[in-house]
Amino acid sequence: MFPTSLIVLLLAVVLLLKPIAEYIIDSKNLRRFPNYNVLSGITNLGYMIERWRGFRSKTLHDCHKVHPVVRIGPNSLSFSSVSAMKAIYGHSTTTIKGDMYSDAAGPYPNILDAVSKDVHAHKRRLLSHAFATRNLEQWEFKIADKVERLVKQFDRICDTPEATLDYSRWTNLFTLDAIVDIALSYRLGCLDRGDDVILTESPDGKTEAVNYIESLHAVKRATSVIVWSSAWFGMLRSTLKLVPGFFRNQYSRGQGYDHMVAYLTQRRMQRYRDGEALDDLLQCILEDKEGKPQELESGEVEAEVNVLLDAGSDTTATALVNVMYYLLQNPSTLVRLRRELEDLSDDNSVVSYSRVKDLPYLRACLDESLRLSPPLAFGLNRKTGPDGVWVDGNFIPAATIVAVPAYTAHRNPAIFTDPEEFRPERWLCAGSKELQASFIPFSAGARGCIGRNITYMEQLILMATLVRRYDFSFVDPDWKLDYEEAFILWPSHMLLNISLRQHSCS
């Protein structure tokens, strides 16, 4: 019998030598591309470590300033060109979603993590009528209700001696309340209370207080580090959940989000079984356009609710913080936006969607903010098909992970003049339609975000209302917005002074 220590040593040697041997053999000819860091050719560890540093997409962008193609892992490539976007994400692409989606998925795939094109097409058909503009506009009253509640809180804060607020926190509460009402016809009351604590039930029937934002972010913080190593992901996640420290702590906190989703889904399903007529996203999932039941398993319904409450809150809240930050950093753009908004009327109530949906400068401000700070800044992974794929004149063999990071695509100086400048006017100039081909905050092609109309509606109504009603300024005039990147590029807390604008007091 070999001693345990020798077996462990031999395993360590094998695990170390195998990737080195694969790097030397280079069966896919990937060594021709420059590495993201010294480790990229033999392990994903270097890319995973960058997650700990907080803003991986910015570091990768620095590499792309020099190299159009960067090897970010032993089997992973990052591209930066417009043509690469079409080859990787376009409607005619032969690529499929990368392994990270199936690795991180639950037992029931949802529209976000479904890898199979057939499964995704089924999911999209299931949800497409729910996200049709006609349906969304019928739910405008739910968004308006949340804007009114936020305005009530902001008016109250204006009357306090300090008159300061954490804008990031309040916009997060706004999007939580909005998406849960739109999706499930359930009022969380986060804006009324000023917190994100949701009372739910754990699987064993005990009452549980869940911090919606903290629990959602916790599991993303952990998973976003280890998911880049697909071969080791399952083992790493299982092991790290048991080992005391950061990962076990984050996964433990993240259970609260899953419990909350299950609880809210069950409550909504009971209302459906009781015959209560409700107008929301889940109703559109449970029944087709003719009112015929879709006959979905409860686990499949819960999986879709999970992604709706995740993506429908986190990304929009991030976008709302970013656009306000850029407006305050660029006072001339704020002046021009107010000029456009003040032409609407003298009414200071919540602005209706019909009055703002076609305002060009408001939309340009939103798009320019999404360009500079896309909530999904990293490259959404795709895996090449059995026949491989040609990208920018390079043949990429089968089963290779490829991606184009939005953060880099949006900073292509050949497309976006002065790419680091916040210039909403670029979207209004002649030839602005050409910019759209390089604008991928919602991904592109058949896998593009199905919920983009919701986030635009929320942003248009809220930003128009707030910019017309209030004056904001940074508590610290020299302060700069910072970011933490997990899957979402989360902005830091943003402390603002707030006051009612003069005309709002009349």
Please report, in range form, the residues annotated as the binding site for heme.
Answer: 449
47 contacts 72 by C-beta, under 8 angstroms: yes
Q: What is the pLDDT of residues 51-92, one digit of tens each?
A: 777 788 999 999 999 999 999 999 999 999 999 999 999 988
Residue from 505, 501, 424, 498 nearest 170 by CA? 498
- Check residue 347 and give its pLDDT: 61
Q: What does the alpha-carbon distance between residue 213 and residue 23 come to, in Å, rounded to a whole number?
A: 41
Q: What is the pLDDT of residues 249-287, one digit of tens each?
A: 999 999 999 999 999 999 999 999 999 989 899 998 888
Q: What is the pLDDT of residues 201-247, one digit of tens each?
A: 888 888 999 999 999 999 999 998 888 888 888 888 888 899 889 99
Q: Poorest-confidence range of 144-148, 226-230, 296-300, 303-307? A: 226-230
pLDDT at 8 over 80: no
Please report, in range form, the residues annotated as the binding site.
Answer: 449
137 contacts 353 by C-beta, under 8 angstroms: yes
498 contacts 163 by C-beta, under 8 angstroms: yes
Give the domains, in start order, of the chain with CATH numbers.
Answer: 25-505 (1.10.630.10)
pLDDT at 506 over 50: no
Q: Cβ neighbours of residue 1 under 8 Å, at least 6 residues apart?
A: none
Residue corresponding to tokens 């199905």 = 450
Name the percent of the chain lying above pLDDT 70. Answer: 95
Mean pLDDT of 456-471: 97
Q: What is the pLDDT of residues 372-413, one digit of tens each?
A: 999 999 999 999 999 999 999 999 999 999 999 999 999 999
What does pTM read for this prediction?
A: 0.93
User: Which token pair is 144?
Assistant: 């308006």
- Beta strands at 207-211 and 197-201: parallel, antiparallel or unpaired: antiparallel
Residue spans of beta strands (DSSP E) within 268-367: none
- Check residue 7 and give its pLDDT: 59
> Which long-range CB contacts under 8 A does 67-70 form with residues at least 24 apart?
67/33, 67/34, 68/392, 69/33, 69/34, 69/391, 69/392, 69/394, 70/33, 70/34, 70/35, 70/36
HSE, side-chain direction, 13 A CA sphere, residue 246 = 7
**C-alpha dihedral sign at 360, 362, 364, 370:** negative
